[in-house]
Structure 1
Amino acid sequence: MTASSPVDSFESLGLSAQTLQALREKGFEKPTSIQKACIPLVLHQHVDVVGQAQTGTGKTAAFGLPIIETVKPERRQIQALILTPTRELALQVADEITSLCGSMKLDIATLYGGQSIGLQIQKLRRGVHIAVGTPGRIQDLIDRGNLDLSHLEYVVLDEADEMLNMGFIEDIENILQHTPAEKRMLLFSATMPRPILNLAKRYMSTYEHVVAEQTQKTTSLTDQIYYEVREADKFEALCRVIDITPDFYGVVFCRTKVDADEITRRLQHRKYVTEALHGDVSQNQREKILDAFRRKRLNILVATDVAARGIDVQNLTHVINFSLPQSPESYVHRVGRTGRAGKEGTAITFISPAEFRKLAFIQKITQTTIRRQELPDVNTVIKLKKESIAGALENLIESGEYQQHGDFAQDILQKHSAQNIVAALIQHFYRDELDPASYREIQRVVFEKDKLKPKAPFVKGRKSSGPKKPFKPANKRVKHTGSAPRKK
């Protein structure tokens, strides 16, 4: 499907009336770039598909809709297997496909670690049409003899680059050995590192490579900023960024579980409403934390990359890279969580002098500009917080939602001046927030000019091949013939 294709409605994609009604009920009006390209290929051509698309581009519907259209409800056998890197993404994909089914009754099993395998086996025995799960749990069920994949018509690898980063490629290859040779393979990935392309060539005899419409790897609606700070000052920098942002609602990414817990503990000590999300958090607690975050009962989520995979939260104002990600691909995944659905967002990265070369390399590979800013000093933070408090007070006065306290206010005014009353209330409610002593000084970091030259720190022993080639044009299809036949 080329960029100039006239396809601009779901009706023109050949979907059934039942599916179109489900899309209308969800409020979907026009297909996204990846949907326009993939749905006709999967529905009307017997080819495999490699789709290159970022988070938030509608790729779940791109593979989910044609699967829904072709699954036979009368056959209570697994006809589609969708592999995801994390349980959160598995749950998200299963929920999205369920909502796309509309009035069609399809049974979907979500299979992941952290939930009773016995309950999952019981559901499989009752018969399901679609299985969505993580490679580890899928492999476990296969080894136990509880997962029959002999009737599969589709295998989907969702966010394949993340599964590669998490070390799941061997599991995926083992799983594919238990699938029929004549199945269809659909692979989706934000980036296309060589191991992913090798996987496609090995298990897809012929495939169409579709690149979602995007001129750069990170959204133009995301303002990308970096601050230069010492490692020891990153927490203080984080607090300042949060405090100068009214209605802050964001994810703070860090490298390890220990970091996530430590940052969360320190934030909670300073009265921020936050929780940590990482691999040691139980599934039950994880779901409670995510529910609270989606409902904005907490506005700061501190997470590791692995734990954050599959989290789909709308209207995030910020993504904070407390620690630089290990790869440019991870940076793309992190930043892609804000600046979505036409709304602007901000991605902030804290870098120490030792990390500057990595940041330069990320900019080069992702073809984005991350601009440098100075952290606000303490006086500026206090000034902005006062402006925020004054603005909130003005909004409350305009709303009139205080008049039931008028008599009480008048009684107090009989005894004290208005200025003293307001000052006392500010002291009572905002004493620590407006106290400059609550903030530590941050030492200024000077970066040497010779550190401005990008150097690839992630790949050893590989010579630079020159500037990175730009992304392929929107939805460009490239036909590939695999070098080896499918494996059973």
Structure 2
Amino acid sequence: MPFSQLPPLLAAALTERGYETPTAVQSAVLEPDAVGRDLLVSAQTGSGKTIAFGLAFAAELLQGEERFGYAEKPLALVVAPTRELALQVERELKWLYLQTGARVASCVGGMNVRQEQRNLAQGAHIVVGTPGRLRDHLERGSLVLDGLRAVVLDEADEMLDLGFRDDIEQILDTTPDSRRTLLFSATLPRPIVDLARRYQKNGHRIETMARGESHADIDYIAMTVAPADIEHAVVNVLRYQEAPGALVFCATRDNVRRMHASLVERGFAAVALSGELSQSERSHALQALRDGRARVCVATDVAARGIDLPGLELVIHAELPVGADTLQHRSGRTGRAGNKGVCVMIVPFPRRRRAEGMMRTANIRPRWEKAPTADMIREKDHERLVETIQPGAAAEDDLAVARALLEKHPAEDIAAALVRSYRARLPEPEDMFADSDQQVAQRMEGPRQGFEDTIWFRMDVGRRGNADARWLLPLLCRRGHITKSEIGAIRIGDSETVFEVRREVAERFAEALRRTAGGEDDVSIEPLGDRPPPQQTRVRRGPPPARGNGAPKYQPKPYRGRS
């Protein structure tokens, strides 16, 4: 159904906002088979689901009228899993229904409950809220749902994952049987289907994306790095891409704080978003991204669903998500509503197999690339600068300044000063710690020039623990307080790894190992002497060792703060 067949005032609102044709999910909910029926809708993130259900229940709410009268009781209820998503839905429905005179009220945790009670008492046609706060208003008696004509559960799978099933069921049990029930979700796991069977009547199922299909508007890139290089990789990806808006995902609140502080220290306009922040702080962070005062948001998975930020062209997974569903929801913050986006997954060497398995489950086939180097970024800066500065019509005042400068300085010096001022505003790229593949291969082959007099050491991690020289080398430097130039050959066996260190630093290295023992890496290192052990022969007895997606023995933190 084209927008011209909608109620006139809704069609006018869409035209004013620049909508020309409906998206796939918006068309699907307006098809004759779907009109007036309960719906179970699965659509990818960024496909316009909010506008879709706003249009889907318009006929029930308006009932042939162009404008709403006074609302004695709410006519529609939208339940969302998070405060940010609920407030975003409220904003979308407000402009969609503005010309109809509809009042849209929100009821979300962290906001003034008395103000919400006053808004409900003044009459609201559409109420948007989170499960816990809606249940609170029901128990207080400030929210009465016996006049509802439509109920929407947005991101229903997320609400069940967060443990809101009891709240949802209590809310639905207090609504009239004649209501329409619309369930919208990016995925349709069995609990959602069971919920639909219980609360829907002859529900119509809509899937606008083939099962297992990945997001076509997102370019997926995966980069393997040493665990100690994760923070540097994030910095370099941000600098290389130079997206107008970027979202960096971390697993914990502590890591969000560290990453945010590190990016701000380097000169990025960054904000943080996590569950520990107050509603006011979270709102200010999102507003800074919307109005351009900030370009980077560092967030936990609280931002993985429902957050729609204009100009968000880049998503970086600084830490691997917990599963394929979270990967898709995180990535879906970009490439929305037909726009293109880039999703970069930073993968520590020890966890590559886990990352590959997760992406196979999500049916994502990324390009595997090396993290951008400082030289690559400087070359990209050069290209951008040449493209950005284009001569054109200039104001007379600008020309007067230009003529005065040319009288005093050569044109080349003036251009060079312009380039310096441009580069001075950009954060410096980072030199990646990890050696090149050629250098790593050389360490594996040994012996190396300059390492004729060495002491050998042993580590209790080998191939079975996913040991790899590219992440062992930074680990040794960090634990032993030496540089990579002082470490020689590295030989990885099935259950242990041996390596050599220059004799002149071996004593200092061993002392540093004793001081740093028992840390986060859980790797034991001990000296062997000045002779290398015999070359290990791989002998298998019984079934081969598991090589699946299990976590390696060494599980580094995703990055370390700067000391």
Task: State the TM-score bracket (shorter-chain normalisation).
Answer: 0.7 to 0.9
User: Which residue of 1 is the match for residue 326 of structure 2?
Assistant: 330
Cα 1:451–1:420, aligned 2, differ >3 Å: closer, same or farther?
farther
Q: Which amino acid aligns with 1:315?
A: G
Post-superposition CA distance 1:86-117 (Å, at most 9, x none)? 12211221222222224211111111112100
Return the match for 2:56 from 63, 66, 80. 66
Q: Which residue of 2 aligns with 1:439?
A: 431
Larger-Rg structure = 2
Select which of 38, 61, 79 maps to 1:48: 38
Q: What is the match of residue 527 of structure 2?
A: none
Compute the RMSD of aligned alpha carbons.
Answer: 3.0
Q: Give unmatched runs, 5+ long, in structure 2.
A: 63-67, 441-465, 469-543, 552-563
| 2:9 paired with 1:18 | yes
Q: C-alpha displacement at 1:247, in angstroms?
A: 4.3
Kindly tell me: are residues 456 and 339 of structure 1, through their superposed partners in 2, closer, same or farther at Cα, counting changes over 3 Å? farther
Q: Displacement, 1:453?
A: 7.6
Q: One-letter code of the match for 1:26? A: R
Structure 1 counterpart of 2:224, from 225, 228, 239: 228
Aligned to 1:128: 124
2:524 equivalent in structure 1: none
Counterparts in 2 of 1:17-416, with a 5 A limit? 17-40=8-31, 44-45=35-36, 47-71=37-61, 73-74=68-69, 75-213=71-209, 217-392=213-388, 394-395=389-390, 397-398=391-392, 400=394, 402-413=398-409
Is the 2:268–2:427 contact (alpha carbons within 8 Å) kept by the matching residues of 1? no
Whole-Å separation in 2 of the counterparts to 1:456 and 1:152: 49
The residue identity in structure 1 corresponding to 2:108 is Y
Change (3 A) 1:387 1:29: closer
Confirm or deny: 8 A CA contact 1:141 1:147 kept in the other structure: yes
Amino acid paired to 1:200: A
Q: Secondary structure at the match of 2:100?
A: coil
CA distance in 2, matches of 1:456, 1:175: 41
Secondary structure (helix, strand or coil) at the match of 2:312 reads coil
Unpaired segments of 5 or more residues in structure 1? 1-6, 458-488
Change in 2 beyond 3 A, CA 1:121/1:269: same
* Mapped contact 1:317–1:338 kept (Cα < 8 A): yes
Task: Give the TM-score, by structure 2 length.
Answer: 0.71
SS at match of 1:284: helix
1:360 CA displacement: 2.2
Distance 1:96 1:453, change over 3 A: farther
Shift of 1:18: 3.3
The separation in 1 between residues aligned to 2:301 and 2:336, in whole angstroms, is 19
* TM-score, normalising length: structure 1: 0.82
Say if 1:206 and 1:425 are closer, same or farther in 2 by CA, change over 3 A. Answer: closer
CA distance, structure 2, for counterparts of residue 127 and residue 155 of structure 1: 17
Q: In the alignment, which residue of structure 2 is the partner of 1:483?
A: none
Mean CA deviation greater in 30-39 or 252-261: 30-39
CA shift, 1:357, in A, is 3.3
Any conservation in 2 of the 1:48–1:207 contact (CA below 8 Å)?
yes
Determine if contact 1:34/1:213 at 8 Å carries over to the other structure: no
**Which letter maps to 2:3?**
F
Query: Residues 360 and 453 of structure 1 are in contact (CA less than 8 Å); yes or no, is this contact kept in structure 2?
Result: no
Which residue number in structure 2 is paired with residue 476 of structure 1? Answer: none
Partner deviation per Cα, 1:146-170 (whole Å, 9 max, x = no partner): 2111222221100112222322223
